[in-house]
Amino acid sequence: MDLVEKDLKYIWHPCSQMKDYEELKPIIIDRGEGVYLYDKDGKTFLDIVSSWWCNLLGHCNPTINAALIDQIGRLEHVIFANFSHEPAITLCEQLMEIIPTGLSKFNFSDNGSAAVECALKMSFQYQYQTGHKEKTKFMCLTEGYHGETLGALAVGSMDLYAKMYQPMLMDTNQIEAPDCYRCPFQKNRDSCNCECFVYAEKAFADHGDETCAMIVEPLVQGSAGMRIYPPLYLKKLRALCDRYGVLLIADEIATGFGRTGKMFAFDHASISPDIMCISKGLTGGYLPMAITITTDKIFDAFYAEYSEGKAFMHSHTYSGNPLGCSAALAVQKVLREERILEKAAVRAEHLTKRLNETLLDHPNVGEIRHIGLIHAIELVTDKQAKTAFDAELRIGYQIYKKALEKGLILRPLGNVLYFNPPLTITETELDEAVGLCAEAIAEILGS
Residue numbers belonging to the annotated binding site: 52, 112-113, 145, 251, 280, 315-317, 411
* Angle at which helices 395-406 and 427-445 cross, to 10°: 130
Answer whether 138's CB lies under 8 Å from 154's CB. yes
What's the angle, vertex CA 390, arms to CA 389 and CA 393, rounded to 5?
95
> Which residues sit in the known binding site for pyridoxal 5'-phosphate?
112-113, 251, 316-317
Give CA–CA dist 251/234, Å, rounded.
Answer: 12
- DSSP H helical ranges for 81-230: 86-95, 112-129, 150-154, 159-162, 198-207
Q: What share of the chain is helix, strand, coil (3-state, %, to 5)?
A: 40, 20, 40
Q: What are the CA-CA distances from residue 399 to residues 14, 276, 368, 405, 438 (Å)?
A: 20, 35, 16, 10, 10
What's the angle, vertex CA 9, arms to CA 27 and CA 162, rounded to 5?
75
Phi and psi, residue 311, nearest 5°? -65, 150
383: enclosing H helix or E strand:
none
Q: Which amino acid is at 438?
A: A
Give CA–CA dist 29/176, Å, rounded.
Answer: 41
208: Cα separation from own chain's centroid: 26
Residue 194's contacts (CB-CB under 8 Å, 6 or more residues apart) are 178, 229, 230, 232, 233, 236
* Closest to 423 (Cα-Cα) out of 370, 355, 348, 371: 348
Answer whether 368's CB lies under 8 Å from 356's CB. yes
Answer whether 87's CB lies under 8 Å from 79's CB. no
* Closest to 115 (Cα-Cα) out of 263, 304, 254, 211: 254
DSSP 8-state class, residue 31: E
> Which residues sit in the known binding site for substrate?
52, 145, 280, 315, 411
Answer whether 151's CB lies under 8 Å from 120's CB. yes
> Buried b vs exposed e over 190-216: b needs ≥16 C-beta within 10 Å?
eebebebbebbeebbeebbeebbbbbb
